[in-house]
Amino acid sequence: MSPATGRIPPDVASLADYERHALQRLDAARVAWLQGGAADGLTVQANQRAWQGLPLQPRVLRPLAHGHTRIERPGLRLPHPIMLAPVAYLRLVHPDGELATAMAAAAQGAGLVLSTQASVPMERVAELVLGEAERGPLWFQLYAMAQREHTLQLVQRAEAAGFEALVLTVDAPVQGARDAERRAGFRLPADVRAVNLQGLALPGMAAADAAAPGLAAGLCGGLLAHAPTWSDIAWLKAHTRLPLWLKGITHPLDAQQAQALGVDGLIVSNHGGRVLDTMPATAALLPAVRQAVGPEWPVLVDGGIRRGTDVLKALALGADAVLVGRPHVHALAVAGALGVAHAIRLLRDEFEIALALTGCATPAEVSSAVLSSAVLTSAERGG
C-alpha cells in the first residue's frame, strides 16, 4: 500500500502546504517530472507571480445575500469556476491514480479534463464520474496523433465512454526538452503506462522516454514535417459530435482562427511552463485573447493558479473559469482522493471569500473593477 493513505496532515491550510508535503514524499525523479518546467523554469515562476502581482481592490458594505459561485454561460455550466487540468500518469504518485482524482473532482463539483496519457482506462474514469449528482463536466484531452486514424480511434472511444467534450492540446507539436527530467534520469516505471494509447503513436513521443543527453538528430526534422496544422482542426471538428476545445492558444490571431473554424472554446495555457521557456505568464496573455474573441465565447485559463484570489483575478481578466494542474497532483500524492477533494475545497473557499471581500455576490459580478489601479511605489517591487 502507498504511504498516501488518505490522511490529511494537520498543518495543511492551503495548496502550498500540499506542495510542500508532496515534495517530501516523492523521489527526486518524480519531483523533477512533476515540478520541472522547460529549460530554466522561468515561465513556471512567472505564472504564479503574475497572479500574485495583480492587486485587488476591496469594496465594503455591499449586499451579498443570495450569492453563489455558479458559472452559467452558453457552452459552460459549472458549480464553481475551478476545473482540474489534464496531467499524465497520475499513478506515478498514487496507486489509485486518475480514479482517485476523478472521484474527488466529482464530489467537489470540479470539472475534470482527463489526460490522454492517463494511467488508467478512460472508461473506468467515466463510470466513476458520470453518476455523481453534483459533478462538474468530464472532458477528454488528446494530441493529434501521427496518423489521423489513430486520432479517430481515441475520439470515438471517448465519445462512447461518455466524455462531454474534447480538448485538443495544440501548444506542444514537440515534446518539450525538460532539462530537470533529463538531469534526474526520469523514466516511467514498468507498471505506469499511457494505457489509452496502446498501439497508437504520438508525434515525437519517443523523446519523452529518452534519457540520453541531447535529442536525436532526426527528431527535429521529423517533427517539423508531422506537426498538426489548422487543417487538422477542421478535419477533427468534422469527425466528432462532441464540443471541441483547443488548449494552448495564446496569440489573439490564433484565437480568432479557432473561433472562425467553429471550435467551441479555448484554454489559454503555456502548458504550465513545460514547453517553451520565457513565454509570458498566462495572466499576461489572457486579456488580449479575450479581447480578440469577444465577451461571449468560452475562454478558460490555466497556469500558476494557487489561491482563491488567483481564481478571482482570472475571472477579472476575462476567463470564464480556471484549471489547476500540479496542485491536484500534490494533493493526490499526499492524501489520495481525500486530499484532492480537500484541495479543491480549500481553493473554492478562498475564492468565495475573495468574491465577498471585493463586494461581488456571484462570479457574474466580477469585472476588472476588482483589480486595483492604485499605483504601487517602486520599492514595493524591489527587495
Residues labelled as active-site residues: 271
Which of 138/281 has CB closer to a copy of itself?
Answer: 281
Candidates 36-44, 130-138, 146-154, 193-201: pick the segment binding a copy of itself (CB under 8 A): 36-44
Q: Binding residue per annotation — 282?
A: no
For the segment 201-220, give every residue that binds a copy of itself (CB under 8 A): 213-215, 217, 219-220
Which of residues 64 and 195 has its CB atom nearest to a copy of itself in the complex?
64
Q: Which stretch binds a copy of itself (CB under 8 A): 84-92, 124-132, 133-141, 251-259?
A: 251-259
Cα–Cα distances in Å, from 86 out to 166, 300, 360?
12, 13, 30
54-113: contacts with a copy of itself (CB under 8 A):
54-67
Could you say which residues in the range 361-380 bind a copy of itself, by CB under 8 A? Answer: 361, 372, 374-380
| 304 marked as binding residue | yes
Start-to-end CA span in the chain (Å): 46
**Contact assessment for residue 129 and residue 102, using Cβ atoms and an 8 Å cutoff:** yes
User: Does 42 interact with a copy of itself (rule: CB under 8 A)?
Assistant: yes
CA angle 110–82–305, rounded 5-degree value: 140
> Which amino acid does the sequence have at 366?
V
Q: Which of residues 102-161 bind a copy of itself (CB under 8 A)?
A: none
- What the block records as the C-alpha cell of 18 is 500540499
β-pairing, 76-78 vs 244-247, is: unpaired
CA distance 114 to 321: 17
**Binding residue per annotation — 141?**
yes
Residue keyed to cell 458594505: 61
Within 266-325, the residues that bind a copy of itself by CB under 8 A are 270, 275-281, 283-285, 288, 307, 309
SS (H, E, C) 203-228: CCCHHHHCCCCCCCHHHHHHHHHHCC
Please, which residue, 3 or 214, has the CB nearer to a copy of itself? Answer: 214
CB of 126 to a copy of itself, least distance (A): 27
Q: Is 306 among the annotated ligand-binding positions?
A: yes
Task: Name every residue whose Cβ is closer than 8 Å to that of residue 109 and which is 6 or more positions away in sequence.
Answer: 78, 79, 80, 134, 135, 136
**Closer CB to a copy of itself, residue 54 or residue 300?**
54
| Nearest CB to a copy of itself, comparing residues 1 and 61 | 61
Residue 87 assigned ligand-binding role:
yes
Please, what is the minimum distance in Å from the beta carbon of residue 107 to a copy of itself?
12
Q: Whole-number minimum distance, CB 254 to a copy of itself, in Å? A: 5
Nearer to a copy of itself, 36 or 298 (CB): 36
The answer to the question of residue 239 lying near a copy of itself (CB under 8 A) is no
Beta strand spans in the chain (E): 71-73, 76-78, 82-84, 111-114, 138-142, 165-169, 244-247, 265-268, 299-302, 321-324
Does position 199 interact with a copy of itself (CB under 8 A)? The reply is no
Is 143 one of the annotated binding-site residues? yes
Whether 326 has a binding-site annotation, put simply, is: yes
**Amino acid letter for position 31:** V
Contact status: 17 vs a copy of itself (CB under 8 A): yes
Pairing of strands 82-84, 299-302: unpaired
Q: For the beta carbon of residue 155, count every other beta carbon within 10 angstroms.
A: 22
- Binding positions for glyoxylate are 143, 178, 271, 274
- Binding positions are 86-88, 115, 141, 143, 169, 178, 247, 269, 271, 274, 302-306, 325-326
